[in-house]
Amino acid sequence: MKILYFAWLRTKIGCAEEEIELPNTVQTVGEVLDYLRSKGGAYADSLGDDKVIRVALNQEYAQQDDKVSNADEFAIFPPVTGG
């Protein structure tokens, strides 16, 4: 799965984009976030419960229970501040 990071998540995690192979047990947006947190370090810090983040799945805002597949584009970012 292609994972994109924006704004402070990009700088904290240290990359804008990465490709990860999801284990079969990871099937929802919430499980992808858990899987990333399990990698520890900057992932665990950036995606901690105290952080407010948004997820977009294939460029649409997504919810925790939405189903995911390895072919999806998964983006993680803070609440938007444009305009």
Partner 1 sequence: MIRVQAENFDVGAEINALSQGNTAIGGICSFVGLVRDFQHTKEDTNRVSAMTLEHYPGMTEKKLVEIEQIARKRWDLEDVLIIHRYGRMEPGENIVLVVTASAHRKVAFESCEFLMDFLKTKAPFWKLEEDDTGAGSWVDAREADNTAALKWKDQSV
Residues at the site binding partner 1, with contacts judged by CB under 8 A: 4, 6-8, 10, 52, 56, 59-61, 75, 77-83
CA distance 32 to 34: 5
Q: Which is nearer to partner 1, 25 or 60 (CB)?
A: 60
Residues 75 and 3: beta-carbon distance below 8 Å: yes
CA distance 12 to 23: 24
| Closest distance of CB 65 from partner 1, Å | 21
| Closest distance of CB 18 from partner 1, Å | 16
Q: Which is nearer to partner 1, 38 or 59 (CB)?
A: 59
Write out the two tokens for 42. 């900057």
